[in-house]
Chains A and B, each alone.
Chain A
């Protein structure tokens, strides 16, 4: 029991900037007025990309039945990609009444026998947490039997939001994996990438550049991740937290425990990508490395600018309204500006204070920060003469009514928008949106309408 994470402590994260003026805990959802995923989903998002590990969900069918094979987290793991598989005990009424531990034990045995994973992550869920299955004990025994790490993940959905779930996943990795294995060798430039899940291969947009600079990604949590590597993560020289404040507890604790400093970065857009690569080099503190990095950034920006030149003509003078949430409110805005679009408004409805500050910084004095985008965006499109609305599906009709182009920012993306290379993908997609006559054609009046 002592190994179980303390939720209150995790919610009170000292490294969070907004911690001091927070009115209530991050995780109190309102009945009838809540959107967003649960802690289990957050844990799943954070850990599933370990493709060499099996991810066994101890719960009823909804938890994994509705969620496996939903994220394009690519891996180069040469074995069977366990990320794209669903494993669940799929508990029944009988298990609810008599307990599901025996079934869980058998399920672990089955997985080890048939799929030979490097580790098994065992996720508790609301129902199995309520009936009190002791997944710690089952994992401990299974670890002794099978000789591979068995990681209990205590993030049943009802303890809170996705963010908290990611944090709990980080706790599980810190408690059960990090520091349990020594790396074969070390370099002065070893880093861990935390919170990078390599969705659509985002990570591979910039890791070759890091390699070229002589920076080694010792481990990741968890994009293209390997269990063996994360076990050695305690030997890194730097933790790099990628676009994910949800995992901030982990690098903070690793700093306390292993004296590894950490920085927080984002790889969306040209400016942020360049700044992030340089920040990594600077944090590693080698003058020669910093020089090399500056040269590489100049080279890459030059290549990118040449590739973007034809797009700039398309985007010149074009205005965009952005209606999305969280850090996307400024990170996408930044990428759009890098392409030469003017971002006239962005939504800060669900953004934190820090996100709002950043949005203001990127949009400038004249930029509009929408607090109620559903109501405001139509009017803003009229007033600013915007050409493009980037939002979720619900806003589609606003764009059609205003006869302007629409891009769904919430749609599951199929190609990477990350790093320098991803910006070309984004430019291509936005160009296609802007030039597509469909929005105008759809808005055509029916012959029977007056």
Chain B
């Protein structure tokens, strides 16, 4: 491992790519079926989030706001606007759950969400998600933990065929589905929490509901504690797994730092074989492993001469860094949104928490960028290759259908990056 800078060193951020906890919280609630995420803050916090996610997914996004004003910010402890918001929402629609999450504004005035929750006579989960701490990843993680703590019913029984998957925020809807299907191939019933694979996967629905359209149901969440195995993916999901174990100490927990590349997928397969007691995985899994091996060899020549800047959430950086470096890519710089224990596992020469100005200052160190929409201008300005990944991604369609995980997605991803590197080298500078 190389040098790690855990804190920004400047008094400001220039061209920032850090996203915030309320957005991560809202996104997690959108992975619950017929949920209404309710952001407790000014209406702009919600509006920005809504527009941001709508553009990323090309889908209508369900979310509401408590619309805190300068007056209520002073006079109301949050109870007034939250209770009123719930009343107004339920006048029009009947959500299965209200996902109450706070913002910097309401955390600054110190609203007591827990106290307010007791005044609301409606299914509601609350989470403190200020935007001046953490980021998208921790907002998502905290919300998952809150969902488990506040909804899951404790039990001491387990069902040997039931698995709970806790995916980190950077997994796309299709990636969540691929992991669920992969685990199911080993004979398990799998439930993902949150589950974007059936809500924001970009499916044409009959009704464009005002609520989240798909995702794990509240009933299913309540019954998660009888799973035999919980698999957390990404450091941000460790606390959620711990919360689930508190509901039933009989559950076994396997943690995966990520699910990208040959080694990580092998470990998952080993875990699943151990759990189902079989000798070998299904034939399709064996076949995809061979395809990944082949893709690693086919792409290694290009990747072996490519120096990459990775930009994104810590859990994403760990996975993308691993699969690329397995084929010999030199990850010269990884730029993380926030600090995380995951930073220690990223196979990069340098890991930093910072902004795109910092990344630009090190432009001599890399040839190709894997990052979000905001890295596009950087790539153009500095003549770098580009593979778009992460939130937000506004310029291309099909973000929800990108799969980089496991043997299959790894093969696609390595080919895509190698091809982008060759296109870049062929382009006149």
Contacts and interface: CB of A to CB of B under 8 A. Distances in A.
Contact of A126 (B42, B50, B374): B42
A200 interface: no
A299 to B, nearest CB: 38
A372 B318 CA distance: 49
Contacts of A35: 43, 47, 50
Contact of A67 (B13, B48, B109, B377): B48
Interface string A59-95: 1111111111110000000000000111111111101
Interface string A119-136: 000000011011100000
Given A30-B67, A33-B88, A95-B132, 14 more contacts: A31-B65, A32-B84, A34-B46, A34-B64, A36-B43, A41-B47, A61-B18, A63-B44, A66-B23, A69-B374, A84-B377, A126-B68, A126-B108, A130-B105
Contacts of A442: 204
Contact of A88 (B12, B66, B85, B104): B12
B11 A103 contact: yes
A72 B397 CA distance: 18
Interface string A34-59: 11111111000000000000001001
B54 A393 contact: yes
Nearest to B39: A62
Among B41, B44, B52, B105, max chain A CB count under 10 A is at B44
Interface string B20-56: 1011000000000000001001111111111110110
A102 to B, nearest CB: 8
A352 to B, nearest CB: 19
Contacts of A392: 60
A106 B8 CA distance: 14
Contact of A32 (B12, B48, B88): B88
A412 interface: yes
B19 A61 contact: yes
Contacts of A422: none
A66 B52 contact: yes
Contacts of A283: none
B85 A32 contact: yes
Contact of A38 (B13, B17, B43, B59): B43
A90 B18 contact: yes
Q: Which 7 residue pairs of A and B lie closest in terms of their CB atoms, listed nearest first?
A: A38-B44, A32-B85, A32-B88, A106-B11, A157-B44, A31-B85, A107-B12
Contact of A160 (B45, B50, B69, B377): B69
B48 A396 contact: no
A287 interface: no
B58 interface: yes
Interface residues of B, number: 68
Among A38, A68, A131, A442, residue most surrounded by chain B Cβ atoms (within 10 Å): A38
A228 interface: no
A84 B60 CA distance: 26
Contact-residue size bin, chain A (C-beta under 8 Å from the other chain)? 35 or more
A65 B20 contact: yes
Interface in A179-211: none
A157 B92 CA distance: 26
A61 B131 CA distance: 6
A33 B67 CA distance: 9
Nearest to B47: A37
Interface of B: 8, 10-20, 22-23, 38, 41-52, 54-55, 58-60, 64-70, 73, 81-82, 84-89, 92, 103-105, 108-109, 130-133, 135, 204-208, 373-374, 377, 394
Contacts of A257: none
Given A158-B69, A397-B204, A62 B84 contact: no
A127 B108 contact: yes
B43 A62 contact: no
B32 to A, nearest CB: 18
Nearest to B14: A87
A395 B19 CA distance: 29
Contacts of B105: 126-127, 130, 157-158
Contacts of A393: 54, 58-60, 208
A41 B44 contact: yes
A62 B13 contact: no
Contacts of B51: 66, 70
Contact of B70 (A111, A156, A161): A156
Contacts of A29: 43, 65, 67, 69
Interface in A312-353: none
Contacts of A64: 16
A378 interface: no
Contact of B104 (A56, A106, A126): A126
A116 to B, nearest CB: 14
B96 to A, nearest CB: 16
A91 B132 contact: yes
B89 A96 contact: no
